[in-house]
């Protein structure tokens, strides 16, 4: 199962529509970094609206993706984290402090826009 | 057989028992309850109570009668002690009356009388006390629901700005409820900034701080941010003395200051309307022109 990565101007959009298993997450991490390299994107929005479970491994992978993309010069924003997911993550002690977040795709794009100063 | 006899004796002498009972119960009256109940109402109620008891002793389908009676007195707010005292007195009086009527006093017989009178009175006590406790439980559960409705309200005051005023002690259960409500509300109102007002929280200890932290972190994961407002001087002192670190959570002393910060975060500002006296001058034609200035938009998004 590969997660589609869409390009929009300088940004990459990813909407995760399936429950993430470990394999898919790792695959996604590689794909995204490759895409950033190819497209020279400056911003990435990962939308998690339809994700209902995030375990500690997935959370770590997502956190890593953010740091890695940063290194490659692309800013990442996570959007649409569901209340239940947020609660579970906090209860697990996963705070994801280095990860910028936004309520939905629209605000995520706006946030990128602001942070990149475009 | 024996019980039946005793029962008929009690019913035959019901007038006498009634007299004695009223005498005794009136002595109790002054001691503990019914200060505010009028004498007439009190007498009526006594009479009715006795009727219910005798009705039950005669044993004709009495639970319905007891239920009606208990519903009524619960509604009127008679204390439970009135019921229990009344029945205890009734038991004593009835045993005495039967003993004097039969003029027989050997131990076995007395205990038989007592046990049979007990068996008359017991179901009434049981049912009435049950009715009372059921009604109390109802009241408690209603109050719990009411309390829960009040425990974590979320008020959207402006596009993207929402306030959650917290009043009263925060325990683990309530903290969980607050977090759920907060997150649901952020999603529903599309909030960008949430002001949590703890003016009404009497004590902020490490546990409360921990819960607040968790809630704000979760809100941050959703993509909104929290501002903690309403920190009173004594709360600030406790927080620092307990060594709680609130540094990665913006805090303000009052809701007003917090709201200003929220406006800043959401790129909004409040612009004062035109000076009132100026407006009055314009209205009255004292100004340069007599038309009313139309600049009354008090909010703009930059």
Is residue A48 within 8 A of residue B222, CB to CB? The reply is: no
The complex scores an ipTM of 0.73
Q: Are strands B161-167 and B155-158 parallel, antiparallel or unpaired?
A: antiparallel
Residue B54 has φ and ψ, to the nearest 5°, of: -65, -35
Contacts of A92 in chain B (CB under 8 A): none
- The angle at the Cα of B260, spanning B257 to B261, to the nearest 5 degrees, equals 90
Residues B250-262, mean pLDDT to the nearest whole number: 91
Instruction: Name the H helices within B106-250.
Output: 107-151, 172-189, 206-222, 233-241
Least confident of A85-94, B84-93, B216-225: B84-93
Q: Residue B80 has what pLDDT?
A: 81
Residues B100-118, mean pLDDT to the nearest whole number: 76
Band the pLDDT of B161: cuts 50, 70, 90: very high
Does the CB of B186 have a partner CB in chain A at under 8 Å? yes
- Give chain B's domains with CATH numbers: 2-147 (1.10.490.10), 155-270 (3.30.750.24)
**Run of H or E residues at B57:** helix B39-58
In a domain, A40, yes or no: yes
The pLDDT of residue A6 is above 90 = yes
How many domains does chain A contain in total? 1
d(CA A67, CA B78): 70
Q: Which CATH number goes with the domain that contains A83?
A: 3.30.750.24
Place of tokens 């569901």: A82
d(CA B257, CA B237): 20
CB atoms within 10 A of CB A35: 18
Band the pLDDT of B261: cuts 50, 70, 90: very high
Q: Do A86 and B192 touch (CB under 8 A)?
A: no
Q: Do A89 and B218 touch (CB under 8 A)?
A: yes
d(CA B266, CA B159): 9
Q: How many residues does chain A have?
A: 118
d(CA B151, CA B166): 7
Q: Do B223 and A83 touch (CB under 8 A)?
A: no
In a domain, A1, yes or no: no
Mutation pick from A51, A87, A107, A109 vs chain B, by most beta carbons of B within 10 Å, is A87
d(CA B155, CA B164): 6
Q: Are strands B193-200 and B161-167 parallel, antiparallel or unpaired?
A: parallel
**Tens digits of residue pLDDT in B30-67:** 665 556 667 777 778 888 888 888 877 777 656 777 88
Domain containing residue A109 = 6-116
């Amino acid at each position: 199962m590969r997660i589609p990565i869409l390009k929009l101007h300088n940004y990459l959009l990813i909407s995760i529509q399936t429950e993430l298993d470990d394999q898919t997450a790792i695959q996604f991490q590689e794909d995204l970094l490759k895409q950033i390299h190819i497209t020279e994107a400056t911003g990435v929005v990962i939308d998690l609206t339809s994700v209902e479970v995030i375990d500690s491994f997935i959370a770590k992978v997502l956190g890593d993706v953010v740091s890695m993309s940063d290194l490659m010069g692309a800013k990442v924003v996570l959007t649409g984290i569901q209340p239940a997911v947020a609660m579970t993550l906090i209860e697990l002690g996963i705070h994801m402090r280095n990860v910028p977040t936004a309520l939905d795709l629209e605000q995520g794009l706006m946030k990128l826009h602001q942070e990149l100063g475009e | 057989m024996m019980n039946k006899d005793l029962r008929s004796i009690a019913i035959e002498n019901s007038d006498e028992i009634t007299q004695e009972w009223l005498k005794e119960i009136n002595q109790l009256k002054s001691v503990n309850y019914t200060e505010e109940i009028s004498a007439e109402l009190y007498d009526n109620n006594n009479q009715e109570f006795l009727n219910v008891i005798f009705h039950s002793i005669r044993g004709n389908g009495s639970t319905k009668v007891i239920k009606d009676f208990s519903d009524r007195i619960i509604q009127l707010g008679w204390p439970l002690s009135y019921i229990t005292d009344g029945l205890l007195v009734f038991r004593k009086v009835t045993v005495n009356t039967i003993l004097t009527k039969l003029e027989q006093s050997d131990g076995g017989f007395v205990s038989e009388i007592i046990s049979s009178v007990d068996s008359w009175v017991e179901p009434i006590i049981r049912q009435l006390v049950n009715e009372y406790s059921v009604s109390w439980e109802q009241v408690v559960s209603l109050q719990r629901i009411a309390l829960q409705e009040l425990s974590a309200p979320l008020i959207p005051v402006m596009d993207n700005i929402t306030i959650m005023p917290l009043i009263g002690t925060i325990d683990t259960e309530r903290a969980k409820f607050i977090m759920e409500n907060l997150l649901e509300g952020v999603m529903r109102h599309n909030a960008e900034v949430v002001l949590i007002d703890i003016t009404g929280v009497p004590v902020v200890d490490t546990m409360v701080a921990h819960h607040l932290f968790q809630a704000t972190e979760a809100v941050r994961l959703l993509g909104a941010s929290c501002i903690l407002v309403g920190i009173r001087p004594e709360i600030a002192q406790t927080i620092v003395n307990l060594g709680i670190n609130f540094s990665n959570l913006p805090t303000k002393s009052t809701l007003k200051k917090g709201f200003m910060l929220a406006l800043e975060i959401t790129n909004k500002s409040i612009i004062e309307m035109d000076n009132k006296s100026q407006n009055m001058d314009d209205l009255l034609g004292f100004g340069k022109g007599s038309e009313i200035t139309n600049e009354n938009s008090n909010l703009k998004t930059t």
